[in-house]
Structure 1
Amino acid sequence: MSLSSEKLIYTPVRGNRRLAIILLSILSFIVLSLLTLSRTSINLGSCAGGRTLRSSFNEALFSSGRFFGTGYPTFVNLNDLQATSDGKSRQEHVLILTPLKNAQPYLARYFELIDRMTYPKHLVSIAFLVSDTTDETVQILKDQADVFLNRRDPRNRYHHIAIYEKDFKFDMPENERHKFELQPVRRSFMARSRNYLLTAALREEHAWVLWLDVDVVEYPAGILEDLQSVDVDIVVPNCLRETEDGSFWGYDKNNWQETEQSLAIQRDLDPDYVLLEGYYEFLTGRYLMVDMETHLPKLNKVPLDGVGATFTLVKANVHREGANFPPYAFQHQVETEGFAKMAKAMGFGVYGLPSYIIYHIMNS
C-alpha cells in the first residue's frame, strides 16, 4: 500500500477525533457554566432577605435526605446567642409564634399590625400552628407568607415563615370557650398546641420568642424595641378590651401576682386542682395586672407570678432551658400561667408593664 493510500485511509479518522475533542470541550464548558450559574443563584438567594433558593437537582437531594452523611457538620456556638436590651442594633432575631383555630376573621388586622412594627423585618420569623380548623385560615396564611417573603425590596422581606398543622380532635363551640368548668381541659389542649409550635419552630438564630394572640387589635409599632429595653426574661404589657367608648375593660387576667390570701388558699388545695382567674365560681384573691395603676411610666415594671400570652416576649434561652407550657397542673396552673410558674421555679424573672396598654378584640 502506498503512502498516499495510507493518507486516504487515516486522515478522516484523525479529523473525526479532532472534531470529537472539540465537541467534548464545548459540552464541558457548557456544563461547567450551568453548574457555576446554579451555585451563583443559590448564593444570591441566600443573601436576599435570608431566603435560600435551590436548583431542582439540589431540591431533590434535600428532600430525599441525601445531604446527610456528606461530611459537612453544622457548628453553632450558642455562647454567642444573646438577648439584650438593644436587640435591634445588635441584629437579634425574633420568632413570633401564634397558635390558630378558625382565625380567618382576624388575620388581616393581625398581619397589618405585624407589618407596621418598626423592628427590622429581616430579623423577624413567624410561625403558626393551625389546629382543628374548618375555615380558610391555612390558605390565607400561605398567601400572606408568599407576599411577606417575596417583596421586591429585600429589606421588607421577613426572615422565615412556617405554617404547621396539627389537629387535636378537640371541638368546642365558640360561645362556650370561656365557661369555667371547661377551662382546665381547654387550656390543656392550648398548652399542647403551644408546645408543638415551640419545638417545631425554634431555630438556633432566635434570641427572642414573642407569643402573640391573633385577635390582638392594637399595639404600638415600636413595642418589640420597648419590651426588649426592659431587659428581663419574660415581660408582658397590659392587655385591655377594645371598646367603642374607650372605657377601661381588662382582658388578660392571667397576668397576676400572688398574695398572702391566694397562697393561703392553695395550701389546702388538691395538687391537681387548677386555679383560674376572672371567674366568680372560685375567687383566688390574687392581684391582677388589669387592676393595677396605669398612670406611671409605661416601662415601669412589676414582678408577676402568672402571665397570659396575648403579647408575651420571652428570651429564647428560657424555652431552651426547659420552660414550656404544662398541659397538666403545675403549682395549680396550666398553660401560660403554668409556664410562668415553671420559669420562676427555674430562677427566671417574670414581669409586667401595667401602664403599657395594648388592646384585644371585644369578645366574650
Structure 2
Amino acid sequence: MGFSSLSSLSSSSSSSSHSPSSATSSTEENAHFVDFNELQATGHAKNNEEHVLILTPLKNAAAYLPHYFDMVDALNYPKHLISLAFLVSDTTDDTVSILKSKANEFLNSDDGSGRGYNSFSIFEKDFDYDLPEGRRHEFELQPLRRSFMARARNYLLTAALKDEHAWVLWLDVDVTQYPSTILEDLQSVDVDVVVPNCLRESEDNGFWGYDKNNWQETRQSLEMQKTLDPEYVLLEGYIDHITDRYLMVDMPTHLKKLDKVPLDGVGATFTLVKSSVHREGVNFPAYPYQHQVETEGFAKMAKAMGFGVYGLPSYLIYHIYNE
C-alpha cells in the first residue's frame, strides 16, 4: 500500500509569544519563514496556548478506537490546541474507515470556544509484517517486532510534526484510563520527556505493572552489559532473560503524583515529549542502540544528547488486559 494522508484544519490557531512566528516577505512571496527561537514548551503550556500533537500508530485497532476517542475528547486541554495523527499499518479491519468518520466529527466539534481540534491526520504505510496476535510478545520475535514499530513511529513523526507543535504525546490506542488533567499535569513537571506509571487490570480484578519499558539502569545491569555483543537487544518482563534493572512498575506508588525520578528507558503507552527533542534528531532506532530498539532506544538516544528523561511512579494510568 502506498502513502496517503487526510489532513485539514478547522480554524487558524491563536498566536502567542510561545508559538513560532511565520511571515512572508513582500519581495520573497514564495518564502516560508518560521522562527523556532519563539517555539517554547513550558510548565504553563495551557495558559501559553502551546500546541500538542497526539501520535498513535495503529494496526487492526477498530475495537479500541471508540474508547480511545472518548478518552481523548475528555481531556481538559483546549481542543483547538490539539492535533491528532495516526499511522495505520498492515491493517485488515475497519480502522481507516473509523478514523475518517471521526475526523469530520473532531474537526467540527464545539468545545465552547467555537472551534474544534486543530487538525486530524491519517497516514497509511504498510511494512508487510504479519505476526499472529498470540505470538506478539514471544521473546525471540521482539527485536524484529520492535524494529517495525520503530519504523512506524518514525514515519508518523516525520509526517505529522508541524511548525506550531511544542509538545508531542505518544499515546497507545488501548490505554483505558487516565485523568482528564493529565496533559497539564505532565507539562507542569517541565522536563524533556516524562511518562506516568502504566498498570493493567488482571483477570482477578487486581492491578499489575504493564509498561515495563520504563526503567532505571542499576550497577548490576550496567556491569552485565559490558559482556554483551553490541547487537544484542535487551528486553524487559521475561523471566528467562533478567536484566537487573529497576522497573518503574516496581517503585513505590504512595508518594506525590508529580514526584519524578530519572529514567534510562521508557515505553510509549503515554509518553510526553517536548518537540525540540524530536526536532534535534532523537527518534526511534530500528537497530540496536546501546542494546535497545524503539522506545527504549529513544530514551537512550535522548539522554546521550543531554535531554532529561523522567517518570512519575505515583501517577497511575491503566492499560487494557491482554496476553
Q: Which runs of structure 2 are paired with 1:261-300 in the superposition (5 Å)?
A: 261-300=220-259
Q: Which amino acid aligns with 1:282?
A: H
Deviations 1:48-79 (A, max 9, x none): 6338xxxxxxxxxxxxxxxxxx8331111100
Measure the CA separation in 2 of the matches of 1:281 and 1:156. 52
**Please, what is the CA RMSD of the aligned residues?**
1.6
Tell me which residue corresponds to 2:82: 124
1:354 aligns with 2:313: yes
Q: Which has the higher strand share?
A: 2
Q: Which has the higher helix share?
A: 1
Does the 8 Å contact 2:199/2:210 carry over to 1?
Answer: yes
**Which structure 1 residue ranges, 4+ long, deviate > 6 Å from structure 2?**
none
Q: Which amino acid aligns with 2:243?
A: T
The one of 122, 125, 131 equivalent to 1:172 is 131
Q: Which runs of 5+ in 2 are unaligned?
A: 1-7, 14-27
1:241 aligns with 2:241: no
Q: Which runs of structure 2 are paired with 1:135-150 in the superposition (5 Å)?
A: 135-150=93-108
1:228 aligns with 2:228: no
Q: Which runs of 5+ in 1 are unaligned?
A: 1-44, 52-69
Q: Bigger radius of gyration, 1 or 2?
A: 1
Deviations 1:15-65 (A, max 9, x none): xxxxxxxxxxxxxxxxxxxxxxxxxxxxxx98x6338xxxxxxxxxxxxxx
Measure the CA separation in 1 of the matches of 2:278 and 2:176. 26
Give 3-state SS (helix, strand or coil) of 1:95's partner.
strand
The one of 40, 48, 53 equivalent to 1:95 is 53
Shift of 1:246: 4.6
Shift of 1:156: 4.8
Measure the CA separation in 2 of the matches of 1:94 and 1:214. 17
Q: Which runs of structure 2 are paired with 1:1-364 in the superposition (5 Å)?
A: 49-50=11-12, 71-151=29-109, 155-243=114-202, 246-364=205-323
Summarize the Cα distance change of 1:361–1:156 in structure 2 as closer, same or farther, 3 Å threshold. farther
Does the 8 Å contact 2:109/2:117 carry over to 1?
Answer: no
Measure the CA separation in 1 of the matches of 2:95 and 2:181. 27
Measure the CA separation in 2 of the matches of 1:242 and 1:139. 30
Question: Which shifted more, 106-115 or 148-157?
Answer: 148-157
Does the 8 Å contact 1:122/1:155 carry over to 2?
Answer: no
Tell me which residue corresponds to 1:34: none
Deviations 1:291-343 (A, max 9, x none): 00000000000000000000000000000000000000000000000000000
Deviations 1:235-261 (A, max 9, x none): 000000024665230000000000011
Larger RCO of the pair (alpha carbons < 8 Å, separation 6+): 2
Deviations 1:140-163 (A, max 9, x none): 000001100122565450000100
In the alignment of these two chains, the number of paired residues is 302
Measure the CA separation in 2 of the matches of 1:100 and 1:298. 30
Percent identity over the alignment is 70
Measure the CA separation in 2 of the matches of 1:205 and 1:162. 15
Deviations 1:145-201 (A, max 9, x none): 110012256545000010000000000000000000000000000000000000000
Measure the CA separation in 2 of the matches of 1:110 and 1:301. 26
Summarize the Cα distance change of 1:355–1:246 in structure 2 as closer, same or farther, 3 Å threshold. farther
TM-score (norm 1): 0.81
TM-score (norm 2): 0.91
